[in-house]
Structure formats: C-alpha cells, structure tokens
Amino acid sequence: MATPTMDKVAADDAAAASHLITVTFRIRRFNPEVSAEATWEDFQLEIDPKERVLDGLHKIKWELDGSLTFRRSCAHGICGSDAMRINGKNRLACKTLIKDINPAKPITVEPIKGLTVLKDLVVDMEPFFQAYRDVMPFLVTTGNEPTRERLQSAEDRERFDDTTKCILCAACTSSCPVFWNDGQYFGPAAIVNAHRFIFDSRDEAGEQRLEILNDKDGVWRCRTTFNCTDACPRGIEVTKAIQEVKRALITRRY
C-alpha cells in the first residue's frame, strides 16, 4: 500500500542508490602459505565514486573476503600506513578518490615495489626504516641544554619546512627505480629526513649526515627521475631536496 510517506522513502532510496557505481577492484593477491606465486583477483562492488580506494578495500575485506590483507591506521593521510600502487602509481589508498582514477576500468591495486611482499598488500618495511635510522633522524646538539626552547628565526624554519611534511609512507622510495634494484640505495625518504635536519639551524650533526649520504649507496645514486616527487602524497619536492643535499656536499666542503 503506497502511502505518501513510503513513497518518499522509496524515492530517497532510489536517489541514494543511483549515485552508486559498479567498480572492479583488481587486486594483487599473495599468500605464501598457499602459493609462491602472486595472482590478480577481481572484486566487483557498488560504491559511491566520491569514496576512497581505502573504503573499497574495507568493503572487500568486511563484506566479500576477510582474508584480504593491507595496512591502514588513521585513514586520513597522516600515519602513512597505506601507500600502495594504485593504477600503476604509488598513492595513499586513503587519499585517492574513486572518481579521480577512472572507475570505468578495473582499478588495479598492488603492493609498493622494491620491498618484500609478506602478504597481499603488506610489505616488509624493515629495509626502508633501516635507511631512515641510518641518517640519524633526530636533533643532535652539543653543550648545555637551554632552559627555554631552542629559538629559531622564521626564515631558518622556512629553510627545511618542506621536508618536515614527510609521513614515512614509502611511496617515494618504492617508486624509485634505483631502489628497486637491490634495496641498498638510501632512497628518497631517508634523504628527505636527513635534509630536514641538515638544513635545521638548531642541529649540529649536518656534517655527519652529509658524510653518511656521501656513501656509495647515498645521494650520488640518484638519477633525477622525479618519480619520488610525483609519488609523494604530501606534495614534498623530493627530488629538489635530494639535489640540495648533493649541492651541500659539494659546496660546503670545497
């Protein structure tokens, strides 16, 4: 029996349903307990195009296949957990809207490259963090601790502002063809985080960090491909930061 109220509800439902679209997620699956081979698996879902790839992955994990494995924590582009290769480009699943990546075609989702895949979209981040630790990403000073905070002019702060934005998601490092080879190159993320301290007027270990990055797997392996700058979800000018470290190595010493 069609009362006016029910009509309205039905109409609302129809309106709500109409903006959903059918999208195919083509996901690179790998489970070492099942097979040594990674395979593509397709999932079809109804989703609002204004939702994010991460929402699609959640829908799959929660409603279609609970074994799908991926990392995410904050879901808002802050923690850097969910970098993955979406349609062939490194992005954060939580910052990529479905409507922005051509949902008419299957959306491919793969783990980031150059790091060992542990399961599905989860990779072993240890080599990445090892390179990060190697550049000593902490303030180093000498002398007595000041009783107040360490002051710095606005210009001095501005000098390294760009590289403070890194969330260590590994999108840049795992987009770098030099890193793909043997994983020994420090990689853009470690250099960005060294840059953050090298150009900080309060820090006193710049020379040490420069020497570390003068290593044979340091900044000189950079081929200036700009993949890292393209990949950074925070819009950091990664390649520029690497070149500034190279320039500092040459001009500060000679």
Q: Which residues bind other proteins (CB under 8 A)?
A: 31-36, 65-67, 114-116, 118, 124, 126-127, 130-131, 134, 177-178, 181-186, 211, 214-218, 220-221, 223, 246, 249-250
Q: Which two tokens stand for residue 82?
A: 């969910």
Residue 165 contacts ligand FES per CB under 6 A? no
Q: Which two tokens stand for residue 67?
A: 């074994």
Which part of the chain contacts ligand FES (CB under 6 A), choosing from 20-28, 72-80, 132-140, 201-209?
Answer: 72-80
Q: Could you give the angle at the alpha carbon of 171 between the alpha carbons of 156 and 137, nearest 5°?
A: 40
**Of residues 56, 80, 127, 187, which one binds ligand FES by CB under 6 A?**
80
Residue 224 binds which entry of other proteins, ligand FES, ligand HEM, none, with Cβ cut-offs from 5 to 8 Å by kind? ligand HEM
Contact 172, 238 (CB under 8 A): yes
Residue 224 contacts ligand HEM per CB under 6 A? yes
Smallest gap from residue 86 Cβ to ligand FES (A)? 12
**What span, in angstroms and rounded, lies between the C-alpha atoms of 108 and 96?**
13
Map tokens 């922005």 to a residue: 100
The dihedral sign for the CA sequence 30, 35, 39, 45? negative
**What span, in angstroms and rounded, lies between the C-alpha atoms of 92 and 130?**
22
Q: Hey, which residues between 93 and 132 contact ligand FES (CB under 6 A)?
A: 94
Contact 166, 193 (CB under 8 A): yes
Residue 181 binds which entry of other proteins, ligand FES, ligand HEM, none, with Cβ cut-offs from 5 to 8 Å by kind? other proteins
By the criterion CB under 6 A, which residues form the site for ligand HEM?
Answer: 223-224
